[in-house]
Amino acid sequence: MNICFIGTGYVGLVSGVLFSDFGHKVICVDNDRIKIDKLNKGIIPIFEPGLDELVNRNLNSKRLVFTTDIKYAIKSSDIVFIAVGTPTAKDGISADLKNVYSASNIIANNINKYKLIIIKSTVPVCTGDDVENIIKKKNSSSKFTVVSNPEFLREGEAIRDFRYPDRVVIGCNNLKKTRSILEKLYEPIIKKGAKFIVTTRRSSELIKYASNAFLATKITFINEIANLCEKVGSNVEDIAIGIGTDERIGPRFLRAGPAYGGSCFPKDTKALIKIGKKFNIDMSVVKTVIKSNEKRKLLLADKIIKILGKSKNKNVGFLGVTFKANTDDMRDSQCLKIFPKLLKKGINIAYYDPTGKKKELENFIFRKSSDEIIKNSDLVIIHTEWDEFRSLNFNIIKNRKLKIFDLRNLYQPNTFANKNINYYSIGRKYYEKKA
């Protein structure tokens, strides 16, 4: 099949590359010339383990093309994916749909034969109707179907999530024409056992927001339970196992940590509230989740201040500053809310991240390794769960005292029983040695 992806951001790039790896001819288009030039040289603009190899393999086989020529891309394709960004708008809550509408207008002007138009971008319910209307209005004789097909890719795990998803969701109001094309497109994935869920376009659009909001709720719930565990001396990990083994609850996304962050949950939970508002529905659960998640970052900052104690000129070293491991993405990273609060208290902050220096943190000291952080800190904060942080070398502190606050529970508290280390974690008993 001839496919084009409008938008070569995270979702468009990963999905386009993987469809080409399934043997389709894929054109990935973007209006950022520098990005396209780099991609044509096999240079990947995002950090996603394994993606560079796939890009280079499919570029070499000529199944994958990167271009800025959107007209050529649309005209040459049977299937046009809209995979442009839908960031939070200026009002601070709605999804900004200008990229989706602009892509729809360009598609309308370039329909030369029947097109299956698939919206992969995360869009509020009824956006598919808007896209259909824009195209019909501009090009009334054109033949096309607009389908919703949300993505469920996690940054850092996107290749695996694309190949082995739990489900493929298709939302379409005219299935007669499209079902067999879509089944063929997703055949390699369905064959491996993914559920193929077919529903209306509006339902599919809402499934995406409901999924992200539900996962954000699960995380926020376990984080609040973790707060309670700390007070009553319970272990949040045991609680997660204890509740997660109930199939009605499920074990995943119950890792307590430093609040959820990233480019999706914060944006999509806010947008869901806005969608509810539009239809006069109070999304009170989601509102509470957002509030609790925001509060958590400040609560953790307070805990850090408390752990450090009163004395002046304290050095805190962060291990990892992105919103989670295996990504270089700083969007809505938890530490961006924690750092200012520590700064106000005169605390010195340094950080190390496996993906390098961050422009968002240019006023902070960047250290080149976790060893450097451990050597130069009174308190080490494990902020993300990179594998390399699971076997840190604490012997380098020699006889000096060190405090660790492990926001990802990478270690067992008793690991530090015989060390000169006070270990704090999330939702578990502290391992604090009195001076």
Site residues for ligand UGA per CB under 6 A: 122, 151-155, 212, 215, 219, 253-255, 257, 260-262, 264-265, 323-324
CA gap 162, 50 in Å, rounded: 13
Nearer to ligand UGA, 265 or 405 (CB): 265
Q: Rg of the chain's alpha carbons, rounded to an integer?
A: 24
Cβ 266 to ligand UGA shortest distance, Å: 9
| E strand spans, 11-60 | 25-29
Alpha helices in 110-200 (DSSP H): 127-138, 158-163, 175-185, 187-191
Question: Scanning the structure block, which residue is given the tokens 């565990």?
Answer: 229
- Nearest residue (CB) to ligand UGA, 77 versus 223: 223
Residue with Cβ nearer ligand UGA (261 or 317): 261
CB of 153 to ligand UGA, least distance (A): 5
Instruction: Report the run of H or E that residue 18 belongs to, with start and end.
Output: helix 10-21
Please identify, using beta-carbon distances, which residue of 163 and 375 lies nearer to ligand UGA.
163
Closest distance of CB 240 from ligand UGA, Å: 8
Closest CB to ligand UGA among residues 77, 220: 220
Q: Which is nearer to ligand UGA, 204 or 212 (CB)?
A: 212
- Please report how close the Cβ of residue 152 comes to ligand UGA at its closest, in angstroms: 4
Q: CB of 85: closest distance to ligand UGA in angstroms?
A: 11
DSSP string, 192-223: TT-EEEEE-HHHHHHHHHHHHHHHHHHHHHHH
Direct distance between the N- and C-terminal alpha carbons of the chain, in angstroms, rounded to an integer: 69
4, 229, 264, 335: the catalytic one is: 264
Q: Shortest Cβ distance from residue 304 to ligand UGA (Å)? A: 17
Question: Hey, how many other C-beta atoms are within 10 angstroms of the C-beta on 294?
Answer: 13
Distances (CA, A) of 226 to 12, 45, 308, 358: 36, 37, 21, 30
CB 175 within 8 A of CB 204: no
What is the distance between the alpha carbons of residues 424 and 250, in angstroms, rounded to a whole number?
27
Instruction: Kindly state the smallest distance separating residue 392's Cβ from ligand UGA, in Å.
Output: 19
Residues recorded for the chain: 435
Q: How many CB atoms lie within 10 A of CB 291?
A: 11
264 is catalytic: yes
Going by C-alpha positions, the residue among 114, 113, 88, 115 that lies closest to residue 6 is 115
Spatial distance between the Cα atoms of 261 and 216, rounded to a whole number of angstroms: 9
| Identity of the residue, 21 or 385, whose beta carbon is nearer to ligand UGA in the bound complex | 385
For residue 58, give the DSSP letter.
H
Give DSSP secondary structure letters for 86-98: --B-TTSSSB--H
Task: State how far the Cα of 14 lies from the Cα of 30, in Å rounded to an integer.
Answer: 14
Instruction: Return the number of the residue (115 or 358) whose C-beta is nearest ligand UGA.
Output: 358
Cα separation, 98 vs 288, in Å, equals 29
- Residue 52: which of 84, 25, 17 has the closest Cα? 17
Shortest distance (Å) from residue 150 CB to ligand UGA:
8
Strand arrangement of the beta sheet that strand 115-119 belongs to:
64-67, 25-29, 2-6, 79-82, 115-119, 144-148, 167-171, 195-199
Residue 29, amino acid: V
Residue 52 CB, nearest approach to ligand UGA (Å): 19
* Of 246 and 313, CB closest to ligand UGA: 246
| Strand arrangement of the beta sheet that strand 421-424 belongs to | 365-366, 348-352, 315-319, 379-382, 402-406, 421-424
Name the residues annotated as catalytic. 264
